[in-house]
Chain A
Amino acid sequence: MKKEELKAQLYDEIAKCNRCGFCLAVCPVYAAVGKEWATPRGKNALIRAIIEGKIDWTPEIEESLYRCTGCRLCTQTCFPAVETNQGVLAGRECLVEKRLYPQVIDRVVEAIENNFNISNEPNINRTMWMETMEGVPENRFQKEKAEVIYFTGCVASFYPMAHKIPQNLVRIFHRAHVDFTLLGGEEWCCGFPLIQAGMKEKMKTLKEHNEKMVQKVGAKTIVFACPSCYHTWREMYQTDAEPLHSTQFIERLIAEGKIIFQDGRERIVTYHDPCDLGRNSKVFDPPRNILKKIPGVKLVELENNRQLSMCCGGGGDLEMIDPDLSSAIAKRKIEEIQKTGAEEVVTACQQCIRTISGYARKNKIKLKVRDITEVVLEAMSA
């Protein structure tokens, strides 16, 4: 993106920042870093200074703009609701043009361009998560026509730590007699990592391909367990199929009597709102309604919940760009979870699980972190 375009798109938005500093109270990056460059106010000031020609792109601006989780808690608590993350993402597009961006991004972009996914695996292996699963049908959950498409997402497809999510979700679908299919090797990355990297224009082919595949199946519904895929689809894609997050879909299945919970273990559970699901897509109630329906579960809220939920530290490519910073943010999240006294934290995002449980494991903190699909399947089987 060129400076002129940045000005045309964002000058009015950024100009609404009065530098009041209220965002400093909630920004997870500032809480970890403690320097003005980390603040949403600072990021707005930098974009503004660029637009007004008071400063040129510098490595420090790169450092600042690439350290934002995209959680948008700043906007949520900002008086004029300045969309700082839009400025950050547009700023990254400008930085990419100047070739000023974290080099680690090149690896992911190369992977997406070569494999249509973020890993080093060929895309044909998109169903590799079935390797450790029993009872996989011959068609590997793929058929030409279906009512529902389950869009697995790159992390759940290729990273063993997250394989449980698709495994559990297809079992839920199977038991609830959902007519569904996967796109298998024809599911390409949704483009979310490219938007975050500041390379939005590169997602065009991915988007066109995915839209075509969905049209071909003729599905009415497309289900995502990944909040970022779901959010990207809602914001950027146009298909006839209704995009739903897995929690929304499961809530419907419960209402239709297709999911029935057996008795469950008595326990206290807390729920972490993933930023891209909660604040950014406004899906707050379905996961809570599901948990409340599960026998034995007592749901206690985190101190900051729903639209005020604190990021886990894994958003906006941050874990890839600056793992130490991501960890520092996860630490705060874990402290908040521990304060509830809950023995388990449930969430609905593979990235949140990865960030939270990764930090807990490395620091030998005993904490049960589970995806809601696992909790649902367990309660169906109990």
Chain B
Amino acid sequence: MNRDQMIEELSKIVGKENVLFSETDLLLYGYDASLFKAKPDCIVLPNSTEEVSQIVKFAHREKIPIVARGSGTNLSGGTIPARGGIVIHFSRMNRVLEIDIKNQRAVVEPGVFTLTLKNQLARYGYVYQPDPASERVSTFGGNFGENSGGPHCLKYGVTTNHVLGAEIVLPDGEIIWVGGKALDHPGYDLTGLLVGSEGTLGIATKLVLRIVPKPEAVKTMLAIYNSLEDAGRTVSAIIAEGIVPATLEMLDRLTIKAVEESIHAGFPLDAEAVLLIEIDGLKDGMERLAERIIEICKENRAREVKAARTEEERAQLWAGRKGAFGAVARLRPNYLVCDGTVPRTKLPEVLTRVMEVGKKYNLPIANVFHAGDGNLHPLILFDERNEEELKKVHLAGSEILKICAEAGGTISGEHGIGTEKKKEMFFVFTPKDISAMRKVKRAFDPEDLFNPGKVLPEVQT
């Protein structure tokens, strides 16, 4: 089918003003927050499940690839239209459909920003726990596709633990429901399968989310270290004690320096690492727990531990963490956020090896990450315009994932595989493992039309 016909057909479904196809628009929907680019054939902006279904039915009939997209904040190329086709942009389907406090559920459309729902919930003293760094703009459709995480996932789990059901448009355009408001649905756990499938199996058009009351109390602490190893050991020691903090974040020396230069969060410049530890829950017993954490920090040679006494002090401690990315981003024009997970006990050793990779390729690497669940985010700093550097960045990123895999970890904590890490899938899966996943993909999408060319590498037979 030629493009003019395609545009005409799609315009019948969503209206002319909601089909984009100029050269300019094709360029604008060819990128996301990763280093990859491609070009779609057109972009459609539907306003209802029915419209999405019609678009997909049309594409299925004509064998045109489809990529669903929210805010395009994803970091592994998940929304790059690798084989062209239609990009479905969900910005118009951005309604919060239901907030059911009594049953602790919310129902949203895929284009709702995470923080928009959280702000609405705040009025009721409720919260949706996952907190991806991009929460102010990441959409629920995107969170669903990528199984997004965030600092609080240490205690509360990632997106999949908070999505209870969804309305799904399948690759042939049929509309189905998986899961629902109840906690444990019979039959296959298709919700679990679809969350994190990066838009390769189905497109969520409504999502049922778990919401919970806001914790009664919060306590935030900052521990400062002269050595990265001591900070890493503290992380393991806290968890080994049976304590599950809400967040356990680590910042390394380069990050501390950058933060201090830009926002003066009060981190000592000669420190090698800081840990930001937050506990939440019932007021009773919280002080005792905080004291125990401070003891553990000191037992592991923290040179200083500060606890926030007021909401202002808490905000100040978090300012350093929240501003860290920004501060580091000012050091060089661009950064690649790597995303690997290792067993907590391996953190010190892996961090050392990560820094060696930086030295090998002569690229600065800063570390700001979710230490509690062993989820590393080395930021490799570079200039995207320098092709030589760009090549080195890809090699260094891959090598870091190799290190994570060798340490018994894996190649993604929360950013997904997308286009970026397909070949690294072999670091953690055998060809047989991949083939098993491929069977699932074929069961849902035999024509390979939903986000083709993502997640699964080709297996040589």
A: residues with CB less than 8 A from B are 11-12, 15-16, 18-22, 24-26, 34-37, 42, 45-46, 49, 54-55, 58, 60-61, 64, 78-81
Alpha-carbon separation in the docked complex, A264 to B25 (Å): 55
Which 8 pairs between the two chains have the least Cβ-Cβ distance? Answer: A34-B91, A60-B24, A79-B326, A25-B137, A21-B73, A36-B28, A25-B136, A79-B329
Measured CA separation A22–B73 after assembly (Å): 8
Nearest Cβ on chain A to B397's Cβ, whole angstroms: 14
Given known contacts A25-B115, A46-B28, A20 and B33 CB-to-CB distance under 8 angstroms: yes
- Asked if B156 is an interface residue, CB under 8 A from chain A, the answer is no
Residues on the A chain within 8 Å of B24, using CB: 37, 46, 55, 58, 60-61, 64
| 10 A-B contacts (beta carbon < 8 Å) | A18-B335, A19-B32, A20-B33, A22-B134, A25-B115, A34-B91, A54-B27, A55-B23, A55-B24, A78-B326
Could you say which residues of chain B place their CB within 8 Å of the CB of A55? 23-24, 27
Residues of B within 8 A of A58 (CB): 22-24
Give chain A nearest CB distance to B118 CB in angstroms.
12
Q: Are A25 and B113 in contact (CB under 8 A)?
A: yes
Check if B329 sits within 8 Å of A18, measured CB to CB. yes
- Please determine whether A37 and B134 come into contact, CB atoms closer than 8 angstroms: no
Which chain A residues lie closer than 8 Å to B71 at the CB level? Answer: 21, 24-25
Docked complex Cα distance between A172 and B29 (Å): 54
Contact A79 B325 (CB under 8 A): yes
Partner of B33, one of A11, A21, A81: A21
With a cutoff of 8 Å between Cβ atoms, the chain B residues found around residue A46 in the complex are 24, 27-28
Give the size range of B's interface with the partner: 35 or more
Using known A-B contacts A18-B329, A35-B20, determine if residue A42 contacts B28 with beta carbons closer than 8 Å.
Answer: yes
Contact with A along B24-64 (1 / 0, CB 8 A): 11011101110000000001010000000000000000000
Interface residues of B in 218-232 (CB under 8 A from A): none
**With A20-B73, A55-B23, A58-B22 given, is the CB distance from A35 to B89 under 8 Å?**
yes
- Whether A19 contacts B31 in the complex (CB less than 8 A), given A25-B115, A60-B25, comes out as yes
Q: Does B125 have its Cβ within 8 Å of any Cβ on chain A? A: no
Q: A21-B137, A24-B137 are in contact. Are A36 and B89 (CB under 8 A)?
A: yes
In the bound complex, residues from chain A placing their C-beta under 8 Å from that of B29 are 36
B28/A18 in contact, CB under 8 A? no
Distance A35 CA – B19 CA, assembled complex (angstroms): 10
Separation of A35 and B71 alpha carbons in the complex (Å) = 10
Cα A225 to Cα B461 with chains together (Å): 75
Contact B334–A15 (Cβ < 8 Å): yes
Contacts of B92 in A (CB 8 A): 34
Say if the beta carbon of B439 comes within 8 Å of chain A: no
A80 engages B91 (CB within 8 Å): no
Q: Is B385 an interface residue (CB 8 A)?
A: yes
For B119, the closest partner residue in chain A by CB is A303
Residue of chain A at shortest CB distance from B331? A80
Max chain A Cβ within 10 angstroms of own Cβ: one of B115, B326, B383:
B326
Select from chain B the residue with minimum beta-carbon distance to A56: B23
Q: Which residues of B are in contact with A by a Cβ distance under 8 Å? A: 20, 22-25, 27-29, 31-33, 43, 45, 71-73, 89, 91-92, 94, 113, 115, 134, 136-137, 325-326, 329-330, 333-335, 383-385
Are A20 and B134 CB-contacts (below 8 A) given A15-B333, A34-B91, A45-B28?
yes
B329 and A15 contact, CB distance less than 8 A: no
CB-CB under 8 A from A20, the residues of chain B are 33, 73, 134
Q: Determine if A21 and B72 form an interchain contact, defined as CB atoms under 8 angstroms apart.
A: yes
Smallest distance from the beta carbon of A101 to chain B beta carbons, Å? 16
Shortest distance from the beta carbon of B385 to any chain A beta carbon, whole Å: 6
- CB neighbours (8 Å) of A19 from chain B are 31-33, 72
A22-B134, A24-B71 are known contacts. Are A37 and B333 too (CB-CB below 8 A)?
no
Q: Which residue, of B27, B31, B43, B385, has the highest number of chain A Cβ atoms within 10 A?
A: B27
Q: Is there contact, CB below 8 Å, between A18 and B330?
A: no
Other A-B contacts than A60-B25, A80-B333, 12 sampled, CB-CB below 8 A, are A15-B333, A19-B72, A20-B134, A21-B32, A25-B113, A34-B91, A35-B91, A46-B24, A49-B27, A54-B27, A58-B23, A80-B330
CA distance A78 to B134 in the complex (A): 12
Return the contact of B333 from the options A16, A21, A42, A49 (Cβ within 8 A): A16
Give every chain A residue within 8 A of B384 (Cβ-Cβ): 15
CB pair A15 B383 closer than 8 Å? yes
Collect the chain B residues with CB atoms within 8 Å of residue A64's CB.
Answer: 24
Closest residue of B by beta carbon distance from A77:
B136
Residues of B within 8 A of A15 (CB): 333-334, 383-385
Q: Which residue of B lies closest to A43 (CB)?
A: B28
- Nearest B residue to A58 via CB reads B24
Evaluate contact between A18 and B45: CB separation under 8 angstroms: no
A55 to B28, CA, bound (A): 11
Which residues from A are CB-within-8-Å of B385?
A: 11, 15
In the assembled complex, the Cα of A79 lies from the Cα of B27 at a distance in Å of 23
Contact between chains at B72 and A36 (CB < 8 Å): yes
Q: Residues of A contacting B22 with CB < 8 Å?
A: 58, 60
Task: Report the minimal beta-carbon distance from A312 to chain B, rounded to whole angstroms.
Answer: 21
- Determine the distance from Cα of A45 to Cα of B25 in the docked complex, in whole angstroms: 11
Specify which of A18, A42, A60, A78 lies most central, judged by the most chain B CB atoms within 10 Å of its CB: A18
Cα distance A37–B31 when bound, in Å?
A: 12
Q: Kindly list chain A residues whose C-beta atoms are within 8 Å of the C-beta of B72.
A: 19, 21, 36
Which residues from A are CB-within-8-Å of B113? 25
CA distance A335 to B24 in the complex (A): 33
Report A242 CB to chain B, min CB distance, Å. Answer: 30
Contact A34 B45 (CB under 8 A): yes
Report the Cα distance A26→B134, complex, angstroms.
Answer: 13
**Given A55-B24, A60-B24, A79-B326, A22-B137 contact (CB < 8 Å):** yes
Which residues on A sit within 8 Å (CB–CB) of B31? 19, 45
Chain A CB within 10 Å, residue with most, of B45, B72, B335: B72
CB of B80 to closest CB in A, whole Å:
11
Assembly CA distance A58 to B27 (angstroms)? 12
Residues of B within 8 A of A78 (CB): 326
A33 CB to nearest chain B CB (Å)? 9
CA distance in complex: A17, B134 (Å): 15
Given known A-B contacts A22-B136, A25-B115, A45 and B27 have beta carbons under 8 A apart: yes
Instruction: Give Cα distance in the complex from A329 to B371, angstroms.
Output: 41
CB distance from A270 to the nearest CB of B (A): 18
| Residues of chain A within 8 A of B330, CB atoms compared | 79-81
The CA-CA distance from A25 to B45 in the complex, in Å, is 18
CA distance A64 to B32 in the complex (A): 18
Do B334 and A36 touch across chains, with their CB atoms under 8 A apart? no
CA distance A36 to B73 in the complex (A): 12
Complex formed: what's the CA distance from A19 to B35 in Å? 9
User: Which of B22, B28, B72, B326 has the most chain A CB atoms inside 10 A of its CB?
Assistant: B28
Complex-state Cα separation, A60 to B20, whole angstroms: 11
**Docked complex Cα distance between A61 and B71 (Å):** 20
Say how far B412's CB is from chain A's closest CB, in angstroms.
18
CA distance A64 to B27 in the complex (A): 13
Interchain CA distance A281-B124 in the complex, whole Å = 37
Complex CA distance for A30 and B61, rounded to whole angstroms: 33
Q: B384 CB to closest chain A CB, in angstroms?
A: 7
Residue of A nearest to B336 (CB): A18
B121 to chain A, nearest CB (A): 15
Which residues of chain A are within 8 angstroms of B32 by Cβ–Cβ distance?
Answer: 19, 21
Given contacts A21-B73, A22-B136, A35-B20, contact A80 B329 (CB under 8 A): yes
List the B residue with the shortest CB-CB distance to A52.
B385
Inter-chain contact A37/B383, CB cutoff 8 Å: no
Once A19-B33, A25-B136, A45-B28 are accepted as A-B contacts, the answer to whether A80 and B326 lie under 8 Å apart by CB is yes
Question: How far is B379's CA from A18's CA once the two chains are assembled, in angstroms?
Answer: 12
